[in-house]
Structure 1
Amino acid sequence: MPVWLQALFWGTLAGAALVLGSALAWWWSIPAKFVSLIMSFGAGVLISALAFDLVDEAARGGGLWPTATGFLAGAVAFVTANALLAQRGAKHRKRSGGKQPSEKESPGSGTATAVGALLDGIPESVVLGLGLVAGGAVSPAILAAIFISNVPEGLSSTAGMKKAGRSAGYVFGVWGGIAVVSGVASLVGYVSLQSASVGLIAFITATAAGAILAMLADTMIPEAFEEHHMLTGLFAAVGFLTAFTISRVGA
């Protein structure tokens, strides 16, 4: 398979995990505490992946300063965009409870929620394409981390969308569209950066990592803590260890 097609395929596959989580939440009533626990697990998985497979590798390949500046730039960019979307009704887009507003309660919140979901997923997809540039193959640890974390993201957000009265067309249109865009983002990341310097690749990788960490703190971890805070830390630790083990076994 051509490498560019691999980038498209792996990005789409990772995004498809959102559709899987969405389908589970749409067709079955998932207990809120269970959603909370798998969100904790998914958060731990992503924290491990960005620490050991993104930031560390970026620093090794391109140096500390491109990595540090990129990481901060990604965090600032995400927080800024997230704050703007929150003002338009997307503040609780990952929440499974009744906190997501309906379109009647907050006109335009449906669009803002869709854009917010896209904002959450793009950095992860770009990383997959960058992995093909840097190493010639997708990192199994990164792919597993993104896929594992995307399932509870789609599950939790869809549970909230359903309670807010969103239609099936809206819900699956959002997640199906994001799966496609995820594939395209991975492809663009690969095609546009094939001849990039190691410093630039480190900067962009770290930018994605900073955005992912900010996303975790702003959207996933609050949902994880909401219903089952006594076990949030434990399941996050298990998720972290799972991703770390996958990373070391695949090394």
Structure 2
Amino acid sequence: MWEASFWGFVGGFALLIGAAAGIWLPTSKRFVGLVMAFGTGVLFSAVAFELTAEAYDRSGADAVVIGLLAGSVVFFVGDALIDRRGGHRRKSPNGSPAGAGAGALVLGALLDGIPESAAIGVSLVGGGSVGVAVVVAVFLSNIPESLSASAGMRSDGRSVRYVLGLWGGVLVASTLAAGLGFVVLGGAPAVVVAVTQAFAAGAILTMLADTMVPEAVEHAGALVGLVTALGFTCAFLLSMA
């Protein structure tokens, strides 16, 4: 459990790094979009090779299909509820819509971050070593997520304490999610572990399509496709190493 929590903390700590960059470093919106695109490619690779493929190897196609669809539906519903409270542009460097509640931003950050961290804990189930590619993918994707969102929150006039406090809270939740992912599934049957892995993959895929890719394209344009492919390639080579 402690090892899973530690690696969850490592992956989540990137949120604070990205938040600090969004607050204090002069970054253009185009640069933010390109960094988001790279992180998107990294996560696509982790979803395909570290989560979905491993879930298939554990328990076959049925577990993968059930998990992917369930994870996607749960994220979709949760995201729709958060959108209604003003959180649909939570990752935009332009800031959130007028009237967006602090609760929507916090819940949105948790919804986006917890599946990734839980996947880290699940990668240790069965006595295996931590999925290095998953940790790296989560770490690299968290930086542009929090960088973009933090820049947007600052443009909304939110205080540095508020922004860092939000991401600090998400870091704590991510650390706990990784530890719980290992504890809850430590003695579970292979099919349960496989469905959980695919569930996390489905949630992450839906998050990428719904929030990361649109924001990246809006701010960085046509180069997003190339940079996403670059991120995917780097993460794929890491998975195969």
**Quick check: TM above 0.5?**
yes
% identity of equivalent residues: 47
Shift of 1:134: 3.3
Where in structure 2 are the equivalents of 1:235-246 lying within 5 Å? 235-246=227-238
For the pair 1:195 / 2:192, whether they are aligned, the reply is: no
Shift of 1:133: 0.7
What is the CA RMSD across the aligned residues, in angstroms?
1.0
Where in structure 2 are the equivalents of 1:19-168 lying within 5 Å? 19-98=16-95, 100-101=96-97, 105-106=98-99, 109-168=101-160
Structure 1 residue runs of 4 or more that deviate by more than 2 Å after TM superposition: none
State the alpha-carbon separation in 2 of the partners of residues 134 and 182 from structure 1.
21
State the alpha-carbon separation in 1 of the partners of residues 166 and 122 from structure 2.
25
1:211 maps to what in 2?
203
Amino acid at match of 2:20: A
Shift of 1:106: 1.1
Q: Deviations over 1:189-237 (max 9, x none)?
A: 1111111000000001000000000000111101110122120100000
Amino acid at match of 2:62: W
Q: Is the 8 A contact 1:12 1:181 kept in 2?
A: no
Shift of 1:175: 0.3
1:170 maps to what in 2?
162
Structure 1 length normalisation: TM-score? 0.94
Q: Deviations over 1:85-112 (max 9, x none)?
A: 00001000011114x13xxx316x1111
Q: Is the 8 A contact 1:133 1:193 kept in 2?
A: yes
State the alpha-carbon separation in 2 of the partners of residues 88 and 68 from structure 1.
31
SS, match of residue 212 in structure 1: helix
Q: Deviations over 1:66-101 (max 9, x none)?
A: 111110000010011000000001000011114x13
State the alpha-carbon separation in 1 of the partners of residues 123 and 222 from structure 2.
36
State the alpha-carbon separation in 2 of the partners of residues 66 and 237 from structure 1.
28
Shift of 1:59: 0.6
Unmatched 5+ stretches in structure 1: none
Say how many residue pairs are matched: 241
SS, match of residue 89 in structure 1: helix
Unmatched 5+ stretches in structure 2: none
Amino acid at match of 2:120: L
SS, match of residue 134 in structure 1: coil
Q: Is the 8 A contact 1:44 1:239 kept in 2?
A: yes
State the alpha-carbon separation in 2 of the partners of residues 134 and 167 from structure 1.
44
State the alpha-carbon separation in 2 of the partners of residues 142 and 64 from structure 1.
21
Structure 2 length normalisation: TM-score? 0.98
State the alpha-carbon separation in 1 of the partners of residues 33 and 69 from structure 2.
28
State the alpha-carbon separation in 1 of the partners of residues 126 and 53 from structure 2.
14
SS, match of residue 222 in structure 2: helix
